[in-house]
Amino acid sequence: MIVDRRSLLLRTGAAAAALVVADRAAGQTHDMAGMDHSTMDHSAMQMPATRPPAPTPTGPRDPRYTPVRTLNGWTLPWKMVDGAKEFHLVAEEIVHEFGPGSKATCWGYNGSTPGPTIEAVEGDRVRIYVTNRLQEHTTVHWHGLILPSGMDGVGGLNQPHIKPGETFVYEFTLRQHGSHMYHPHADEMTQMAFGMMGLFIIHPRGGEAVPIDRDYAFILHNWALHPGTWRPDPSVMVDFDLWTFNSKVFPAIDPIVARTGDRVRIRMGNLSMWNHPIHLHGVEYVVTGSDGGRWPQSQWRRDVTSIVGVGQMRDIEFTAVPGDWAFHCHMAHHTMNAMGHGVPNPTGVDQDDLEAKVKAMLPGYMKMGRNGMAEHQEHTDGGHPGPPNTMAMMVGNGQFGNIEMGGMFTTVKVRDDLARGDYRDPGFYQFPKGTVARRVSTDPNFGAPVRRSI
């Protein structure tokens, strides 16, 4: 596909524009850096039928690649100093919102979890300053990168720990391309459980044989944020209750937006403690890459569900077809929020009288539903809250009713009329006449279906 590279400039916020102006004055150049990719309003999850005019792209970028768009995230600014692209990470405590009604004190980089995406090109020399503003030591491991042993970031093995208040510098030449990550290798269980991680994307020096029109990336993670608490629990190893794309749960996760016919790549990294079968509706995608870069085309394989193992990166690519398509982990409990464990199953039991009695002793109690868990969203949408600082397990509203999802779930929204650089939520898909499943009867005895007798 022939791609107009100039038309693929991503929109930048005011902060990014200010960076560009400052850098021009200083004679420096940013590689489409400082972009905030999380400016969409998800409070209602509905958009007007018509979109406002597309924003005017501003600022220079490296013409050798299509910039990556990090779901709900942003790209770290850099500047050229003595022949190296210079970045600066700050490890620090932050307040993070997983979705409406659920916040926690987490740890991250530069004010966010995950930290900002680092983006560079194979062959670049990079210099990365890391300042520690935590109350304990840390390091940064560049996951999957080929580099000198002393830059690998394993505390005590490859380097001294970065103590509180200290700044260390990592410097190396990028010897490969592909989708990579960064995270601590010091008190790793706690620091990663609190949200310290980020993406490191390296583009091939010679460009790509099959061009990409829209390039997305996110990290899969899990959290144990017990209802009514305000910090993740790092001691939990199995029973997590929040499952996230880039530290957000549905419906707060950005949609993946594309124009009909675009070649879309989605880069997925897994730093959770579970493997995730990621499923995309509407198309057969091609698994094309990993930490090892984009594979030779002879190794590409077609699929609709692909497991992203713990510590792995997986790249998938597809040609966008019009519609609103679900994109999610196929473990059902990973597409729910605030998932409880060991809760009795009262399906089929009339709980109306029981709920009032339990609430007298436990004000935050809410019944799960007599006829199934779908009633849970109806209860919460009707103003029946759960415990403090938690979210409903099943949320989200579509044009036909409740979506009843959460966690690792978002949508791929493809439209014919999107401008090349437009990444805004286009609202709900307008289905052509006769293409929506419809009701033909309300009689439970309709038709003559063949049934097996018991």
Q: In which band, very low, low, confident or very high, does the pLDDT at 61 lie, cut at 50, 70 and 90? A: low
- Looking at residue 106, its pLDDT comes to 95
- Looking at residue 220, its pLDDT comes to 94
Distance CA 258, CA 255 (A): 10
- Looking at residue 386, its pLDDT comes to 63
pLDDT digits (tens, 9 = 90+) for 149-159: 999 999 999 99
Distance CA 39, CA 179 (A): 24
Q: Which residues of 221-230 are buried (b: 16+ CB within 10 A; e: fewer)?
A: bbbbbbeeee
Distance CA 56, CA 47 (A): 20
By CB neighbour count within 10 A (0-12 exposed, 13-18 middle, 19+ buried), where does 358 fall? Answer: middle
Please say whether the beta carbons of 37 and 70 come within 8 A. Answer: yes
pLDDT winner (highest mean) among 42-51, 309-318, 347-356: 309-318
Distance CA 342, CA 82 (A): 58
By CB neighbour count within 10 A (0-12 exposed, 13-18 middle, 19+ buried), where does 125 fall? Answer: middle
Distance CA 122, CA 131 (A): 25
pLDDT for 17 beyond 80? no
- Of the chain, the percentage scoring pLDDT greater than 90 comes to 51
- pTM here is 0.80
- Where are the strands (E) in 100-140, listed by range? 102-109, 118-121, 125-132
Please say whether the beta carbons of 202 and 174 come within 8 A. Answer: yes
In order of start, what are the domains of the chain with their CATH numbers? 5-333 (2.60.40.420)
328 vs 43: which has the higher pLDDT: 328
Distance CA 411, CA 327 (A): 5
- Looking at residue 336, its pLDDT comes to 78
- Looking at residue 371, its pLDDT comes to 52
**What's the whole-number mean pLDDT along residues 405-428?**
90
3-state secondary structure of 17: helix
Whole-number average pLDDT of the chain:
81
